Amino acid sequence: MTTISEELLRRFDVSGPRYTSYPTADRFVEAFTAEHYAQALAHRAGGSQVGGGAPLSIYVHVPFCESVCYYCACNKVITKHHDKAAEYLQALVTEMDLTLAHLGRGAGVSQLHLGGGSPTFLSDAELSQLMQALRERFRVNAGAEIAIEVDPRTVSVDRLKHLRSLGFNRLSFGVQDFDPQVQKAVHRQQSFASVEALMAAARELGFESTNVDLIYGLPLQTPESFARTIEQVGALKPDRIALYGYAHLPQRFKPQRRIDEAQLPPGSAKIAMLHSAIAGFLSHGYSYIGMDHFALSSDSLAVAKRQGRLHRNFQGYSTQPDCDLIALGVSAIGRVGASYSQNAKDLDAYYDALRQGQLPIERGLALSRDDIVRRAVIMAIMCQGRLEFESIALAHLVDVRDYFKPEFERLQELADQGLVTLEADAIQVTAMGWFFVRAVAMVFDRYLQADRSRARFSKII
């Protein structure tokens, strides 16, 4: 493994975007309205025959949770009143119908993802109702990835059986950490044994892929305690692992104010956790996909990485080709054509728009030509760790060295620090550079370079 100096750690102890999109969501504007989104949907519909064209990805946001996890930065509604789900499900159906009025029916779907919140807040009957509504309105392709985020505290083996019967073939378990003291500090307590039993059941039921989410940088975590969690997860052998650095932004996310900042590990400890996690998961047979994802070498994500077919979307790294994303539910972010859009973040505002027969768009962005060029560059760096100048030149008709002349001056500094190699016709992220790949991508972020205001983002290490 690469040795990272303390000086380099201090130099890059900065905040920056995760680049699940470019431009990033903080650049969305309220001037982008429901009418603009409707036009984007209609433009897509007009560009292909009914039922033809590139497949869609669908994301459904279910905001409800029974209890709050102090680290959480998701849009959520904390409630033990499960009757609230009925109104929300009806609103989702209304939103689907309003969307299809512009998009048309029959578009194929290659990827469907239920996230939250906790989608498993919904009862079995409610999950059945939701999946039936989706299948009645969209054509889910054979072999489509159908995934759901699972809170291990809210599911049983019988619930997993029901999910499998509904067509779900991928599960993502929110674990974060197995250390009891860390779990108590973030108000999310669950045993290793319970997760182990669910993982075993998922394999027996024939789920194609299981993922475990982990977070490093939580209160009371140490490199030693997190190493134990790494070994436990390695023993579970999920197909994929998502390892996120905790972003402490209490000014933006109220639940995080319950975390004692004095208990948060310093940057040097966080990078030690990341370093040991990479070493630990590699020793358990995982491939390092990049930034925050690991996969068993036989998993489709690892295969896509080796073949240069990796993509990145709002759910992180993906094997799915770059495609339009229809986002349903409060606060959900979608992408159609050269535009991004986000639904109302407040549940009442979301409901109000739908009652008035309007798409619940609160803000969004129509991408400029420069945005599209820079998005291609940033995604190449984030996904392949390599930028081939010729591919950008052919796709976007730009001379890369001339178009990005100021950026190349800043890249030279990263090259001097061993993070990238500047070739005659390409930029290559080094093994050490993968630890700081967000810093490499940030060089090409025109918005970030313009205002230098990064406090709203998480630390890149």
Annotated binding site for S-adenosyl-L-methionine: which residue ranges? Answer: 59, 71-73, 116, 149, 176, 188, 213, 247, 333
Ordered alpha helix ranges (H), 293-387: 300-306, 347-355, 369-384
* Rounded-to-integer distance, Cα 402 and Cα 380, Å: 18
* Rounded-to-integer distance, Cα 260 and Cα 268, Å: 19
Run of H or E including 175: strand 170-176
Question: What number of CA atoms fall less than 13 Å from residue 460's CA on the CB side?
Answer: 23
The pair of structure tokens assigned to 116 is 């939250």
Burial class (CB in 10 A: 0-12, 13-18, 19+), 187: middle
**Beta carbons within 8 Å of 135's beta carbon, 6+ residues apart:** none
Annotated binding site for [4Fe-4S] cluster: 65, 69, 72
The pair of structure tokens assigned to 303 is 């295969």
Query: Helices 34-46 & 84-103, crossing angle to 10 degrees?
Result: 50
* Rounded-to-integer distance, Cα 231 and Cα 286, Å: 13
Residue with tokens 């930028």: 387
Q: How far is CA 411 from the centre of its chain?
A: 27
Residue 366: strand pairing partners: 339
* Rounded-to-integer distance, Cα 433 and Cα 438, Å: 9
Report CA torsion sign: 259, 263, 267, 270. Answer: negative
Q: Output the CA–CA distances (angstroms, integers) from residue 153 to 173, 426, 440, in the order listed.
A: 10, 47, 38
Annotated binding site: 59, 65, 69, 71-73, 116, 149, 176, 188, 213, 247, 333
* Rounded-to-integer distance, Cα 207 and Cα 148, Å: 11
Q: Output the CA–CA distances (angstroms, integers) from residue 329 to 58, 144, 146, in the order listed.
A: 11, 21, 17
* Rounded-to-integer distance, Cα 24 and Cα 375, Å: 10
**Beta carbons within 8 Å of 90's beta carbon, 6+ residues apart:** none
Yes or no: say if 214 and 183 are a contact pair by the CB < 8 Å rule: no
Residue with tokens 């073939």: 169
